[in-house]
Amino acid sequence: MPRNPHFCRNVMIYFEQPTRDLLVARLVHQLVPGGYLFCGHAETLLHLPPGLEYVQPATYRKS
């Protein structure tokens, strides 16, 4: 298991885009460098915040 993972699956689909962006920014702030954020497959991040990189569908890593 990756260290310091955050799971936010099937939650963001219920929020509007500005709220999603704020939620993701807060989650990324809590991640340690190299930590992972796992989202639901329907929850593509349209705007990657600084410091977050795409790994594979629904999986992102804090750089």
Q: 39-48 burial string, b = 16+ CB within 10 Å, else e?
A: beeebebeee
6 beta partners: 37
Question: Tens digit of pLDDT for each residue in 26-44?
Answer: 989 989 999 998 888 888 7
Does this model's pTM top 0.95? My answer is no
What type of residue is 25?
A
pLDDT at position 60: 93
Supply 1's token pair.
Answer: 């298991």
Nearest in space to 20 (alpha carbons), one of 55, 54, 48, 58: 48
Question: Tens digit of pLDDT for each residue in 49-59?
Answer: 889 999 999 89
pLDDT at position 34: 93
Instruction: Report CA torsion sign: 62, 48, 58, 43.
Output: positive
